[in-house]
C-alpha cells in the first residue's frame, strides 16, 4: 500500500493540496468531493455504519462532502474497479448467443435470434 494521498474516486495524487483537507475541497483531476467517508481513515464497510469511529454521527452518503469532525484522510484509499465479474458475464453471454454481446447486431442477426427464441418457447417460425 502506498503512503501517498490519492483521490478515492480516480486515484489522482493529492500531494499539492494543503492538509487538513477542508470540507469543500475537491480533487484537482475529477472534481469529486474529498472530505468524504470513502477517503477517511475510519471508513470500513465491514462494521456498522461503515465507520470504526464509535461516537461519530452516521453519514448516509459516503461519497458526498460531510461535516464529520473525526475525518482523517487515508493514504491509498483508491481501489481500482475489478471488472473481472463483468468480463466473465460478458463471456457467458457471448457463448450463449454466439458472438460479441457488446456490438449491435445486423437485421439478419436479429431475425436469427427471434427464430431461436420462438423455437425455445415452442412457437413455429
In a domain, 125, yes or no: no
Locate 55 and state its grid cell: 461516537
Instruction: Clarify whether residues 7 and 68 are in a common domain.
Output: yes
Instruction: Clarify whether residues 17 and 56 are in a common domain.
Output: yes
Residues spanned by the domain of 108: 84-120
Nearest Cα neighbor of 35 from 46, 50, 19 is: 19
Instruction: Clarify whether residues 58 and 29 are in a common domain.
Output: yes
Condensed to tens digits (0 to 9), the pLDDT of residues 32-70 reads 999 999 999 999 999 989 999 999 999 999 999 999 999
Residues 6+ apart with CB under 8 A from 23: 35, 65, 66, 67
Mean pLDDT of 4-33: 93
Instruction: Clarify whether residues 25 and 44 are in a common domain.
Output: yes
How many domains is the chain built from? Answer: 2
DSSP-assigned states of every residue in 25-67: -B-TTT--BSSSGGGBTTB-TTSGGGB--TTSPP-S-TTS---
Instruction: Clarify whether residues 62 and 95 are in a common domain.
Output: no
Instruction: Clarify whether residues 72 and 98 are in a common domain.
Output: no
Residue bearing the bigger pLDDT, 52 or 123: 52
Amino acid at each position: 500500500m502506498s503512503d501517498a494521498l490519492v483521490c478515492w474516486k480516480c486515484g489522482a495524487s493529492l500531494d499539492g493540496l494543503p492538509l487538513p483537507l477542508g470540507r469543500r475541497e475537491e480533487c484537482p483531476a475529477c472534481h469529486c468531493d474529498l472530505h468524504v467517508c470513502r477517503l477517511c481513515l475510519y471508513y470500513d464497510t465491514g462494521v456498522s455504519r461503515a465507520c470504526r469511529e464509535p461516537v461519530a454521527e452516521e453519514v448516509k452518503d459516503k461519497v458526498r462532502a460531510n461535516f464529520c469532525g473525526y475525518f482523517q484522510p487515508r493514504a491509498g484509499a483508491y481501489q481500482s474497479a475489478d471488472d473481472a465479474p463483468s468480463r466473465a458475464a460478458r463471456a457467458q453471454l457471448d457463448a450463449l448467443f454466439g458472438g460479441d454481446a457488446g456490438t449491435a447486431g445486423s437485421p439478419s442477426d436479429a431475425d436469427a435470434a427471434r427464430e431461436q427464441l420462438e423455437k425455445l418457447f415452442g412457437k413455429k417460425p
